[in-house]
Amino acid sequence: MNTIALQIENISKSFPGMLAVDNVSLEVRAGEVHALMGENGAGKSTLMKTLSGSFDDYTGVIRIGGKAVELHSPAMAIANGIGMVYQELSLARPVSIAENLFAGQLPVNKFGLIDRKAMLKNARRALAYVSLDIDPLKTIEEISQHEAQLVEIAKVLAKKPCILILDEPTSSLSREEVRRLFEIVRDLRNRGLAIVYISHHLPEVFEIADRVTVLRDGRRVGTHNIHEITPGSLVKMMVGQSINEFYEHREANLGKVALSVNHLTRHGFFHDVSFQLREGEILGVVGLCGAGRSEMARSLCGLDPIHDGEVSLFDEELSPDNYPDAVSKGLVYLSEDRKVDGLFLRLPVSRNLVAAVLPDHSRAGIYSSRNDASLTQRYLDELGIVAASSETDVGTLSGGNQQKVLLGKCLATQPRVLILDEPSRGVDVKAKQRIHETVIALADRGAAILLISSDLPELVGLSDRTVIMRNGRLTGEMAKEELSEESALLAANGQGTIHNG
Ligand SMILES: Nc1ncnc2c1ncn2[C@@H]1O[C@H](COP(=O)(O)OP(=O)(O)OP(=O)(O)O)[C@@H](O)[C@H]1O
Ligand SMILES: [Mg+2]
């Protein structure tokens, strides 16, 4: 039996008006991966943030190596060997990878100046540890989101923690990257680190975890050896009921061509992309991370430039590089990264939900907050957004609930064409089902939907048809009958039979 590295005893933490963590006790052993699961807002991140020194007002006792410790600041947590990779990335975007890695503790030479050579050497070593081969002088803005995720992990590991907390580390990683991350995690476990792993992804948890603890409404429901439970019973522990992850077969009722993309090119990202999307259709884009799916989507709707080709919405050409034009014509894009271009974290939920529709709601220049209230309530209900009130700042919602607000914000514009980029990232099983129902209902009402998702069951379950994207090019398409998780994966990797579309 491994020694106990971390003991959490009767920890509680409240925010104004709510008890986020309610008297939780938990032990994590050295040399184990301990998964922490639970619905959005269950208190997972909050419990772990008490360990990383984010709060000075928690109650209860935390023991590390048997000794009671006070963790009232990030520095205290680091000094006690706790390293946490946060759910929302915390890197400074305009700054280089190297400086991010060693923020606050850059190596200095004998003149007291930053020793750039040592910094680069240390940075390369830290990056090699997470198998990342990129120039440490690049800024975070210049690298992809999954690279940024690995930099974040490298940054925490550079402080040599003995307890490592990973809060949904794989939400922006491809399968291959998840596999590599798991190798790193297993290696760290074998070296005796105690690892807490937060995830909504059941297959991942069954693959990597030794034990799992479930939280619900801030309380601990139970802890089990992973071999003692099934995915079904785990879901039941999380949501208090069984969930049917079955996708109903639906017959798409296709209408006019809603979106027509012709020879779209952005050098270095994607080339000569052409496809059409009809009203009532859900078109999935199969592809690996880095295939260019998000880049294509962003350029398509005018968030990023294009070099060649054009996009039409109901036969009307969109002006390139002009997202507001696209929105005014009925297209909306749900971003892959809610923190960077999705939400106003310091504004309340209600303002975020109506942010995209303000012109419509301010009749004759008078801003009507009554309309907002009913609209806000509608999305709170429809998407099951859990917030203390509609006036709570979005930044204080749990990660999954932020994602739901983002979707609500897109829906509030009543788009005719909707591009969904990883719509259920970070949301729990129940919320995911709600989101899927909403997407299907939209399509049934005639909206045209382009779906980018690395969640294969989701992509396969929702798509009426898929196009395959590889290395920046569309390489073929698959009809619903041909689509399975296996065929999608093979196609994304450039294998299997593909019909050229
Ligand atoms: N800074 C904050 N201020 C106020 N309330 C907060 C704050 N941080 C979290 N909360 C609330 O505490 C509760 C627990 O949130 P937490 O982020 O721990 O959930 P979670 O289990 O990590 O969920 P998810 O799976 O969505 O990430 C939520 O109701 C959330 O709104
Ligand atoms: Mg969380």
Structure confidence by residue, pLDDT tens digits, 95-105: 899 999 987 67
Which pLDDT band, with edges at 50, 70 and 90, does 358 fall under? low
Which pLDDT band, with edges at 50, 70 and 90, does 410 fall under? confident
Distance CA 182, CA 207 (A): 9
Cβ(62)–Cβ(71) below 8 Å: yes
Query: Does 384 contact ligand 1 (Cβ within 6 A)?
Result: no
- pLDDT at residue 321, rounded to an integer: 92
Q: Is the pLDDT of residue 338 over 70?
A: no
DSSP 8-state secondary structure symbol assigned to residue 96: B
Nearest CA to ligand 1 atom 19: 41
> Which tokens go with 245?
């992850």
- pLDDT at residue 348, rounded to an integer: 87
Distance CA 217, CA 212 (A): 17
- pLDDT, average across residues 7-29: 95
Spacing, Cα 156 to ligand 1 middle (Å):
22
Average pLDDT of the chain to the nearest whole number: 88
The DSSP element (H or E) to which 431 belongs, if any, is helix 429-444
Q: Show the domains of the chain with their CATH numbers.
A: 4-239 (3.40.50.300), 257-492 (3.40.50.300)
What pLDDT, in 10s, does the model give residues 121-136? 999 999 998 888 999 9
- Coil, strand, or helix at residue 290? coil
Query: Does 81 contact ligand 1 (Cβ within 6 A)?
Result: no
E-strand spans in 108-149? none
Which pLDDT band, with edges at 50, 70 and 90, does 1 fall under? low
Query: Does 398 contact ligand 1 (Cβ within 6 A)?
Result: yes
Q: Is the pLDDT of residue 194 over 60?
A: yes
Spacing, Cα 402 to ligand 1 middle (Å):
10
Nearest CA to ligand 1 atom 28: 41
Which pLDDT band, with edges at 50, 70 and 90, does 496 fall under? low
Query: Does 52 contact ligand 1 (Cβ within 6 A)?
Result: no
HSE-CB for 351 with a 13 A CA cutoff: 12
- pLDDT at residue 4, rounded to an integer: 95
Alpha-carbon distance values, 182 to 62, 209, 234, 457 (Å): 27, 10, 21, 21
pTM for this structure? 0.78
Query: Does 42 contact ligand 1 (Cβ within 6 A)?
Result: yes
Phi, psi of 248 (to 5 degrees): -65, 140
% of the chain residues with pLDDT over 70: 92
Which pLDDT band, with edges at 50, 70 and 90, does 228 fall under? very high
% of the chain residues with pLDDT over 90: 52
| DSSP codes joined into one string, 83-140 | EEE-SS----TTSBHHHHHTTT---B-TTSSB-HHHHHHHHHHHHHHTT----TTSBG
Spacing, Cα 86 to ligand 1 middle (Å):
13
Which pLDDT band, with edges at 50, 70 and 90, does 340 fall under? low
Query: Does 425 contact ligand 1 (Cβ within 6 A)?
Result: no
Distance CA 205, CA 82 (A): 21
